[in-house]
Amino acid sequence: MKTDRTLKLKVCGMREAENITGLIALQPELIGFIFHEPSARFCAGKPEVDIPEEIIRTGVFVNSPLETILQKKEEFGLSLAQLHGKESPEFCRGVRQHIPVMKAFNIDYHFDFQVLEAYTGVCDYFLFDASGPKAGGNGIQFNWDLLQQYQGKTPFFLSGGLSPDSVDALREFQHPALVGIDINSGFEVRPGLKNIEKIKQFKYELSS
């Protein structure tokens, strides 16, 4: 089923300059750098590549202090902070005084959507990911039907186990607050290295 909506594409877990250059040619709306050391996609240093200003450079943090977030903001020229830990609404409000915030939540059958009310107004976006042993990047998909319980106005990105095989399901899924999707491990050659051709084909099919 073709829809008239256009979803923003966020490609997360980028690290290598040549790979980023190839991705830039596809014009994703957001590129994500992971600053969580336990992650296999941890970005230790700034890649030597010029990223166009229109692409939103996103830093992914897990329970990081504000000082670290601000340091990476300056080093990488970040224009969005994705908070993927147990950050409180008060902490999000403090970060948002310096940089827009995307707050991630891990969704399963036990998730209480009323929790999101306290984050409304202090986050620019939500990101709904699957629950798993790691904060993110688990490569598993949750039941998207659960998101019908979300009646809020804060726009959200959909994440968790998306792959080239997810196109049909994404085209069918409808939610008034859905504005984008976040892809990562399902498009990798190895952690931190994306298959650019797979992303290109995925982007084309999703918009066709």
- The tens digit of pLDDT for each residue in 43-79 reads 999 999 999 999 999 999 999 999 999 999 999 999 9
pLDDT at 133 over 80: no
What is the pLDDT, as a whole number, of residue 136?
47
Question: Taking a C-beta distance cutoff of 8 angstroms, is the pair 150, 177 a contact?
Answer: yes
Mean pLDDT of 143-148: 95
Q: What percent of the chain has pLDDT over 70?
A: 93
What's the chain's average pLDDT?
Answer: 93
What is the pLDDT, as a whole number, of residue 139?
63
pLDDT at 135 over 90: no
CATH numbers and ranges of domains, the chain: 8-207 (3.20.20.70)
pLDDT at 147 over 70: yes
pLDDT at 137 over 80: no
Confidence of residue 125 (pLDDT cuts 50, 70, 90): very high
Mean pLDDT of 197-204: 96
Confidence of residue 132 (pLDDT cuts 50, 70, 90): low
